[in-house]
Amino acid sequence: MTTFTIHTDEKMADAIRQGAADAGKSINKFIQDALGGALGLFKRKERPLPDFLVIDNPLTPEEADELRSVQKEFDVIDEEMWK
């Protein structure tokens, strides 16, 4: 096991202490988890998508093209409307 010493200001030290306490972890474990997650060493739990993002019947390529063509109307800016 390797030991690191970090230097930080009191604001960050307080935030680390509070974060560890809130998570019910030691400061050491809290920092390990935080750094490991930030560095991509730990796989994060996948959260399920909200119901409104789950599409049971995805669009066919033809339907997607039709939707894109209809949406083009929303890209047009009516200058008169914004005066």
- At residue 11, the pLDDT reads 97
Q: What is the mean pLDDT of residues 16-34?
A: 95
pLDDT of residue 21: 96
Residue 5 lies inside a defined structural domain of this protein: no
Domain count, the chain: 1
Determine the residue type at 73: E
Single-letter amino acid code for the residue at 51? D
Name the pTM for this structure. 0.51
- Quote the domain boundaries for residue 24: 10-82
Query: Is residue 27 a part of any domain in this protein?
Result: yes
Domain contains 52: yes
Asked whether the beta carbons of 70 and 63 are under 8 A apart, the reply is no
Which residue has better confidence, 25 or 56?
A: 25
Task: Quickly state the pLDDT bin for 50 (edges 50, 70, 90).
Answer: confident
Query: Which is it for the CA torsion 67, 72, 75, 77, positive or negative?
Result: negative
What's the confidence (pLDDT) of residue 52? Answer: 81
